[in-house]
Structure 1
Amino acid sequence: MPFQNLSPGDVISGGTRMVRAGLEGGKIVGTYGKPALEKSANLTVQAASWAAQNPILVTCAVVGTTGVVVLAGPGLVTAPILSSVGFTTGGIQAGSAAAAAHSWIGNIAAGSAMAIGQSAGAGGSGLVVVNGAAQLGGAAMTMGSASLAWVKAKL
């Protein structure tokens, strides 16, 4: 090991050099970073002011962006939801909402919502259906928010 021959003095000396380098870096950031931080603060204030004056457009932007993310990567939304309901890769999780529904329904019919949920949770063909539904929702969010923003701009 390269650290076997280190003395306490070597460790203290190295630590001192690191602290000095950090302090020097702090001076550099203070000198050259201040203008960038001021511009960033000004931009943040301008954005917050615009958002306060245009709450509907901000909402449309957030909903539309969320819709695009869901449309592009539906698994980002569907995987956590399936897991939280109880549809996991190992089957239905004991004590979950899916387990309660399964005990209430009894035998699961092929092609039913419960069967699709089980398949999706296990990574089977049901995942195509679930992800497709999520993408459809994402597209509706994007188009709806864009339409509302367009109408708002025309009024």
Structure 2
Amino acid sequence: MTFRNVSPGDVISGGARFVHAGLKGGEIVVTYGKPALVKSANLATQAASWGAQNPILATCAVVGTTGAVVLAAPGLATAPIISSMGFTAGGIQAGSAAAAAHSWIGNIAAGSAMSVGQSAGAGGSGLVIVNGAAQLGGAAMSVGSASVAWVKAKL
């Protein structure tokens, strides 16, 4: 990339404008950041207080929200789990839990949990099964926590 007809004065002028914009941004943060931080801290304190007074409902809220996230985006939960077990795109990772299980099992039968794990790790059709199971669990978490909260409200 070449720059034609750019003088050192142009570079210095542009740099000065950039620094000035940064300073102006800093003034905005100082002006509006502190009230926002105070409001956030107050909201967090109120939420913690409510959670301490209503531990069952707070737990239901956390579990229900987690279930809804897993239902909507199961890969957020399944990808780290599959990877940590040792199922990777290149196959089973040496020294992993999956490698230990594979050495204990020996030959892997088609359709087994181990073959589904291998397929899921490689991004194959096993991923559909694993994500579907996670979504089923997420739905159960959401419905179950809503049910517990409803029963708690009725008692």
Q: The TM-score by the shorter chain falls in which range? A: 0.7 to 0.9
Match of 2:120 in 1: 120
CA deviation map 1:75-100 (0-9, x unaligned): 11111111111111111111111111
Tell me how far 1:30 sits from its aligned partner.
Answer: 3.2
TM-score (norm 1): 0.80
Match of 2:105 in 1: 105
Match of 1:31 in 2: 31
Provide runs of 4+ in structure 1 moved above 4 Å. 13-25
Q: Which residue identity is paired with 1:74?
A: P
Match of 1:47 in 2: 47
Match of 1:88 in 2: 88
Aligned residues: 154
Change beyond 3 A, Cα 1:129–1:43: same
TM-score (norm 2): 0.80
Structure 1: runs of 5+ lacking an equivalent:
none
Structure 2: runs of 5+ lacking an equivalent:
none
Q: Which residue identity is paired with 1:118?
A: Q
Provide the secondary structure at the position in 2 that maps to 1:123: coil
Q: Which residue identity is paired with 2:90?
A: G
Structure 2 CA distance for aligned equivalents of residues 93 and 35 of structure 1: 50
Change beyond 3 A, Cα 1:25–1:98: closer
Task: Provide the aligned C-alpha RMSD in A.
Answer: 2.6
